[in-house]
Structure 1
Amino acid sequence: MIRTTARQRRRRGPDAGPDAGPDAERDAGSDAGPDPGPQRALIAASFVNRVGNGLFNTAAVLYFTLVVHLPAAQVGAGLTIAGLTGLAAGIPAGNLADRCGPRTVWLVTLALQAATMAAFTAVDGWLAFTLVATLDRLAATASGAAAGALVARVSGERPAAFRARLRTYVNLGVVVGTLGAAFAIQADTRAAYTALILGNAASFAVAGLVVLAGVPHCPPLPRPAGHRRWSVLADRPYLAFVGLYSAIGLQYQVVSLLLPIWLSAHTDAPRWTVAAVYAVNSGVCVLLQSRIGATVETTRQGGRAFRLAGGLFLVSCPVMALTADVPTWVAALLAVLAVCVHSVGEVWESSASYALGFGLAPDHAQGQYQGLLGIGFTAGQALAPVVLTGAVLALGHTGWLLLGVLFAGLGAAGPPVAAWAARTRHVPQDAQPPAPGRSPLPGTD
């Protein structure tokens, strides 16, 4: 069995030569560690969960406006209240995961999400909708913090490779769920929409059962003497990384929100182009995530991946703007080309976020660090519609160019922030981030 410690892995680094010893040879030939069962269970649970998310997210607004008959403005207001309130659960839930074990906390949050999702089918007014949505967001934020900590604990000897595979299946799950939701949208009946909601509720329950059966309990890791309950808020390099991650995360809604509006309002591209860009984005991410993500292991690699992603976004954004200046079929081809480039940038950005988000967090405090990371990302996504539609669309071509420059600048900040964080942790930039807490998992040491 492999008994290589995290400290030894950091000292040896990812490029260790033949003198690194037999442990290095075994590490090089194994992505999953001696017991891949918990990893497979976590991937399966995440896939099922995201199939449910795809079912619900695709048709949620239609259900609340067409079936429950809530005005769109009320739905938006309720979701905003729920989203902002839900942020409060991130760090406390992360701390709880660090103290009680992430598996336990995640199972509880999955059960809560199953209950709140099922409760949506009984909503008949705005107050009830807002209350249920708020409880759902609180549970979802807590779930994200606990799930992140659990991923850190079962990542094995090659954490980047595992997380890349995990994100591949997560993306695939969303695609499958979205395709399933298309049938309900076509049927356009209360029963069809209700089936989507209950399907999502069931996905939380099934995911919980998979984790319960396949992932062993992860006991809390020992805390150093200087640990503080809110230590993440005093970690300035990590706060800087969270800021970068949250801001560059605007890129996710470039494809899902900004480009579709631009194509519809400013170009002569065929309407099917909107669906095509979604498909291309999902396809590129599914195909390349494992291949690219497995190469981004270290702090230095994470910073460089951020910079590369920013450069690709600098290319893709102006090309998206050009779709308004060309004939119909050229516009469609340019849109697909731009999304291909943008999607490759998305894969590099997500890989960098995994490497730095997990690698810079202390083993014993992964929960609270992942909680803060989730808060930052959610806040950035909440601001994205205002920034993208209010600023970029208002400025037209100039707005697209400035958006690309913004992404490039954020990406360029990745290497210095990563280097700063590595210095404060006294970890060489080329050392692999540890596989947090692998040893306490039964059967892995």
Structure 2
Amino acid sequence: MITTGIGKRLRGGAESGPQRALIISSFVSRVGNGLFNTAAVLYFTLVVHLPAAQVGAGLTIAGLCGLAAGVPAGNLADRYGPRVVSLIAQAVLALTMASFVLIDSWLAFTLVATLDRLAATAGGAAGGALVARVGGERPAAFRARLRTYVNLGVVVGTLGAAVALQIDTRAAYTALILANAASFALAGLIVLIGVPNYRPLPKPEAHRQWSVLADRPYMSFVALYSAMGLQYQTVSLLLPIWLAAHTDAPRWTVAAVYAVNSGVCVLLQSRLGSKVETPHQGGRALRRAGLLFLVSCPLMALTADVPVWVASALAVLAVCLHSIGEVWESSGGYALGFGLAPDHAQGQYQGLLGIGFNAGQALAPLILTGAVLALGHTGWFLLALFFAALGMAGPPVAAWAERTRPAPPAENTASPRAEAER
């Protein structure tokens, strides 16, 4: 089995048992995501026979409603333990995903999709808190390794979905959906068996369920990181449309840029991400990312101005640079998102970070296709400057946030986390 192979590879590293279990669980669930996400729109339009506009409207409603679960679910994770909330979310995701094979109307689709997004948001908040607890002495290295296997899982799932797309039958699409549902169930089972049920950490008297909203430095970081998240759909959405509409590059170029993006992230995430441990290093990582995006976006625009054979090579080069920037951006986001959050409120803080990031991803198609694409070359250059400005803001935001954090406990004093782990 593929999970067994991964387990053997991980045993050669320095991961603890809980870290190994969480990595395998995340890989399994992302294989399922890759299977489903690749074919989801085709299933709903060609098999369920919903108009594309209705599918888009239902997904938008579900996505917006799902944002509401972030902070409340994070608070529950802080109060009852992150594993409990994470397991409940995984169970709901398995049920809602399986329910997609039964829907036959837009209303049913929208209701199930909304429950799915609520559970996904809750799972993200609890999962972030769980990652913080499992991270150990070198959390950045663990999170970088985790993201490597997450990316690899999506690639494996996407390749599996390609087979079902080629078969193009209702049974094939149904198999993808049920496989994704099973992946959530299996991922939850792995966490149940392999990850401890961490006790909630003691909270100071000043803690409130919405304390994160009063943390202005963290709120500023969330806004910055959410805006910078537009870079993900620059490669997955904007560039493919640009290549198809403004260049004569062969259609395989689109597949090539996807493969290059995934490959670079898988190969470099652990190597680069493990070097970004502290918020200070996270701010510098965001700055590096912004500068790489400053170069990659104009190169993507220039694919419309060169011969066909050059356009494909230029697109691949641009995506290579952009993908390195993505690795730095995600590593910086991890270091700041986890490093600035108090241990006792990781769930609440990760919930807000998830809300901000998901809101940015929901707005990304409108911004990228409605503004950037409409402006052509000018839009690309403005997007590059936007990313660079956000990246340059990373170090000062990190420095501001670090100045407002409480001083770490003395070395001879046990921290609340250490006491709770005993």
TM-score, structure 2 length as denominator? 0.94
Q: Return the match for 1:409 from 383, 386, 389.
A: 389
- Could you list the runs of 5+ residues in structure 2 that have no partner in the other structure? 1-10, 409-413
- Alpha-carbon distance in 2 for matches of 1:150, 1:303: 23
- Alpha-carbon distance in 1 for matches of 2:415, 2:272: 19
Q: Percent identity?
A: 80
- Alpha-carbon distance in 1 for matches of 2:13, 2:310: 49
Alignment correspondent of 1:382: 362
1:340-369: CA deviation from partner (whole Å, max 9, x where unpaired): 000000000000000000000000000000
Q: Work out whether residues 201 and 416 of structure 2, in 8 Å CA contact, stay in contact via their aligned partners in 1.
A: no
- Alpha-carbon distance in 1 for matches of 2:107, 2:371: 32
Alignment correspondent of 1:313: 293
Shift of 1:225: 1.4
Change (3 A) 1:323 1:438: farther
Shift of 1:299: 1.4
Shift of 1:427: 4.8
Write out aligned runs for 1:22-171 (5 A). 36-171=16-151
- Alpha-carbon distance in 1 for matches of 2:149, 2:14: 22
- Alpha-carbon distance in 2 for matches of 1:148, 1:320: 33
Change (3 A) 1:409 1:181: same
1:208 aligns with 2:188: yes
Q: Work out whether residues 125 and 351 of structure 2, in 8 Å CA contact, stay in contact via their aligned partners in 1.
A: yes
Alignment correspondent of 2:277: 297
Give the partner amino acid of 2:33.
N
Which secondary structure does the structure 2 equivalent of 1:295 belong to? coil
Shift of 1:298: 1.1
Q: Return the match for 1:358 from 315, 338, 351.
A: 338
1:198-235: CA deviation from partner (whole Å, max 9, x where unpaired): 00000000001000000011110000111111100110
- Runs (4+) off by over 4 Å: 31-35
Give the partner amino acid of 1:251.
Q
Shift of 1:437: 3.4
Q: Work out whether residues 164 and 290 of structure 1, in 8 Å CA contact, stay in contact via their aligned partners in 2.
A: yes
1:370-397: CA deviation from partner (whole Å, max 9, x where unpaired): 0000000000000000000011111100
1:186 aligns with 2:176: no
Give the partner amino acid of 2:404.
T
Shift of 1:130: 0.3
Alignment correspondent of 1:339: 319
Alignment correspondent of 1:281: 261
- Could you list the runs of 5+ residues in structure 1 that have no partner in the other structure? 1-30, 429-433
1:256 aligns with 2:236: yes
- Alpha-carbon distance in 2 for matches of 1:427, 1:246: 28
Q: Work out whether residues 202 and 416 of structure 2, in 8 Å CA contact, stay in contact via their aligned partners in 1.
A: no
1:225 aligns with 2:205: yes
Alignment correspondent of 2:8: none
- Alpha-carbon distance in 2 for matches of 1:228, 1:386: 35
1:39-80: CA deviation from partner (whole Å, max 9, x where unpaired): 000000000000000000000000000000000000000000
Q: Work out whether residues 59 and 185 of structure 1, in 8 Å CA contact, stay in contact via their aligned partners in 2.
A: yes
Shift of 1:290: 0.1
Q: Work out whether residues 32 and 156 of structure 1, in 8 Å CA contact, stay in contact via their aligned partners in 2.
A: no
- Alpha-carbon distance in 1 for matches of 2:153, 2:419: 30
Alignment correspondent of 1:10: none
Which secondary structure does the structure 2 equivalent of 1:122 belong to? coil
Give the partner amino acid of 1:92.
P
Q: What is the alpha-carbon root mean square deviation over aligned residues?
A: 1.7
- Alpha-carbon distance in 2 for matches of 1:98, 1:32: 32
Which secondary structure does the structure 2 equivalent of 1:123 belong to? coil
Give the partner amino acid of 1:407.
F
Which secondary structure does the structure 1 equivalent of 2:277 belong to? coil
TM-score, structure 1 length as denominator? 0.89
Shift of 1:439: 5.7
Shift of 1:438: 5.8
Change (3 A) 1:123 1:311: same
1:309-330: CA deviation from partner (whole Å, max 9, x where unpaired): 0000000000000000000010
Q: Work out whether residues 297 and 380 of structure 2, in 8 Å CA contact, stay in contact via their aligned partners in 1.
A: yes
- Alpha-carbon distance in 1 for matches of 2:80, 2:100: 30
- Alpha-carbon distance in 1 for matches of 2:166, 2:365: 27
